[in-house]
Structure formats: structure tokens, C-alpha cells
Amino acid sequence: MPVNLKESWWIRDVEIPTRVVLAPMAGVSVQAFRRQGRRYGAGLVSSEMVSCAGIEHRNERTLGYLRVASDEHPLAIQIFGSEPRAMAEAARMVEAAGADLVDMNFGCPVRKVTKTGAGANLLEDAELAYRITAAVANAVSVPVSVKMRRGIEDGSRACLTLGPRLVEAGAATLTLHPRSAKQMYTGYADHTLTAELVSLVDVPVIASGDITSRAKAEAVLAATGASAVMVGRGAQGNPWAIQEIVDGDAAQPAREEVAAELIHFIRETVRELGERRASGFLKKFYAWYLGHGRFPKPFKNELVQLSSTDDVVTRLLAAAPGAADLLAELEADAPDEEYLLEGMPISIYGGG
């Protein structure tokens, strides 16, 4: 029997309404991206990595990642670092911001993260990883999760030794992307390791890597016994991929629907980041949304050259006039409130 992807499951006392989790992705997982993911069926969404050092030093841009909207829940905020005390303090801030889970990144392969002892470096330092997990789990009342890779080197099985220790330290769930840090995103994700990890721990395991369709999600869940799958790059500018996995609806969106979603995403991102930051941040999304044969390539290139997001919106509406009515529906569903931590710099929330 195929796993029911629309069935809810639990991470300790947090109910996750579907078995699809939207991955935390650096430079992607802004609030607009997370809210969109929830609308299209992701049961759990996550912030991008947040530096515990940035939180500890009250860096204004870092604190901006702790912005939580009422329609994001359940939401995980992911932190990274290599010092147990600082990670515990960051976790307390994450809980205070309104996150439902504190997620820790023990898998990022990027040099600027690993050189600090954080990210994938912790896969080879089980004792430090244990102490960080225990410190964070003891600091908060919400569940703690850990996202990791198989190990640093190709063929590594470090995750199978580390995983049970992290659960012993207090992790309530584990996410495994069974590529090595050295692989980055090349090759394939070896989900036989995911199945082994599931057999070793008594907490839910989320399977990450190469989840690109409903058929693949069902096959991985059936083969591994994992509780959920994590979708990452396939959902960039393509929330319909989440919908296809959750609902089995493989219909391609009309051009008007694509334009409406992109305009809504642009406006939400400007509200969050301000025009100056958002203008540069959004350029990569134009290719993601308008690809897949949805719009001609020259049109995407034209949008990238425009000087303001207002100009981009005007051009999109001219290319797909029917998007206006769909956009009005999307904007009518904006969240009623956002939970803001007292004492944070107000400019974060005013587009500064």
C-alpha cells in the first residue's frame, strides 16, 4: 500500500499535517517562500540557516530571520554553530520568536560554515555534536530536530553512528540527506542509508534528497520507513511541485497562475526585505518561475534587466493580464498578524 502523503504525523507534541517537508535553503527560504509552501501542501516549513553567533550578537539582519507569520505554522527555524552555550542561547531566542521546532544544521558542506566547526564538520565530531544537541534540547521546551548528511567523505556511514547519539542527547527527529558533504549535490542520494537510520532510532526520520515527484516520494517512504520526505530545489519557483507530490495533481499551471504567484512572491519579499535587498534577491526566482516552458527565455532576461520590482510587476501583468484577478485572491489571504520579538530593531519589519 502506498504511503498516504496527506496523512498527518507527529514530532513529539507537534502535529505535521502532511508528509512533505519544505527544506531549509540558504538564499531561498524567506518568509514568502515558506508561506507559499504551506499553501501548496507542505506540512512543515523551515527558515534558512541562521547563525547562532549572529543571534548572540543581535545582528539586525540575522534577527530578521526570526520573523514569524501566523500562517507558517508548523515552522522550524534552523540554526547553526559549533559552541554549545551559544547554540542553546540561540535556541531560546528561536523558541521565543514563535517557532514550533528548533532545527540544527549538521550537514552544510559550504566552506565558510565548516571552517568554523559547524555544519557538516560536526558529522566527524560526534562528541561535540552530542554536547550541542543536549545543550539545545535542555534549553527549550519545543522539539529539537537535526538535519545531517551521510558524512564528509564519499561512502561515509558516519550518520548511522551519530544519529542514535543525537536522539540520546534529546533530538526529537532527524533529517538525513544521504549524500556526502564532498558530493555537494552531485551523484544520487543513497536512501539505503535512510532505511538503516530508521531502523536504529525510535524518533521520526525525514528522508531528503532527490524527491522530485509523487512516485519518488512514495517509493522512498515505502523503502525506508521514513515518516516524511523533504523537498528542496525542486520547489524553487515551483510550488506546483509540492502540490503534485501531496495531491498527485500533475497539471501544469496556466501562465496567469504563474504570473500571479510570482507577483505575490515579489510583493511579500519586498515587504520583508525592503526594495533594495529584494530587487537583487529576486532575480534568480524569475528564471525559476518562468522556466519549464512557461514563458519565452527572452522575457525572463528582460525582467532581470528592469530597475525596480514595480517595473517587473507591471511587465508581468502586461504579459498575463488575467493574473490580476488571481493576485487579488492571493493578497486577500494575507496573515492577520506576525509575531515579533520585543526589543528587535523595528527596521527589520518595516523594509529597512
Note if 159 is an active site residue. no
Q: How far apart are CA 84 and CA 90, in angstroms?
A: 10
φ, ψ dihedrals at 199, nearest 5°: -70, -15
From residue 96, alpha-carbon distances to 87, 99, 214, 343 in Å are 14, 7, 36, 12
Q: Which grid coordinates belong to 140?
A: 527549550
Beta bridge partners of 173: 145
Query: Cβ atoms within 10 A of the Cβ of 111, count?
Result: 9
What gap in Å lies between CA 106 and CA 115, rounded to an integer? 13
Q: Which of 108, 206, 230, 245 is catalytic?
A: 108
Secondary structure letter of residue 44 according to DSSP: B
Residue 347: count of CB within 10 angstroms of its CB: 11
Tell me if residue 225 falls in helix, strand or coil: coil
Residue recorded with cell 518561475: 289
Q: Half-sphere exposure of residue 305, counting CA atoms within 13 Å on the CB side?
A: 5
In angstroms, how far apart are the furthest CA atoms of the chain? 58
Dig out the grid coordinates for 283 from the structure: 532575480
Closest CA to 29 of 236, 333, 170, 267: 236
- Beta bridge partners of residue 221, listed in sequence order: none
Catalytic residues: 108
